[in-house]
Amino acid sequence: MTPQVAAETGTCQVHSVDGEKVRRTLAAMEPESTLRHLAETFAMMGDPTRLKILYALSLAELCVCDLAALLNVTVSAVSHQLRLLRGMRLVRYRREGRLAYYSLDDHHIEALMAQGLEHVYDREPHPIARPVGAATRER
């Protein structure tokens, strides 16, 4: 039985559980620990400073000093955020002499960023204009 939905509130007018659909969905659900880790990943990306760092790293490999200058924050503040992002495997670094250059950990992080931006640009009723050169990347 398909529940009737009140158009004005989006809620069911009749309480009815489709046991088979619930069973199939439950069988397909990811384990609690996986969903918790996904929530932690999204929470990490939910901080504006960390998101700026991730976005900058989606455009170019940068060192801590580059990121600090780009974001107009201290090297210490950037280092702290990078430590958190590394802990969640969102960024990685490579050494070149005495410098450490940061980049996104893998293409999945870049895809998450791109999908999020696509959602922001396409949302209604007031889509945000995509800045000129937004798709340009330097590697």
Range name among 1-15, 75-89, 94-108 with the lowest pLDDT average: 1-15
Angle among Cα 54, 135, 93 to the nearest 5 degrees reads: 30
Q: Order of strands across the sheet with 91-96?
A: 62-63, 99-104, 91-96
Average pLDDT, the chain: 87
Domains of the chain in sequence order: 20-122 (1.10.10.10)
pLDDT tens sequence across 36-86? 999 999 999 999 999 999 999 999 999 999 999 999 999 999 999 999 999
d(CA 16, CA 70): 54
Read off the amino acid at residue 113. Answer: M
Higher pLDDT, 133 or 31: 31
pLDDT tens sequence across 101-112? 999 999 999 999
Q: What local confidence, expressed as pLDDT, does residue 6 receive?
A: 59
- Report field, pTM of the whole predicted structure over 0.95: no
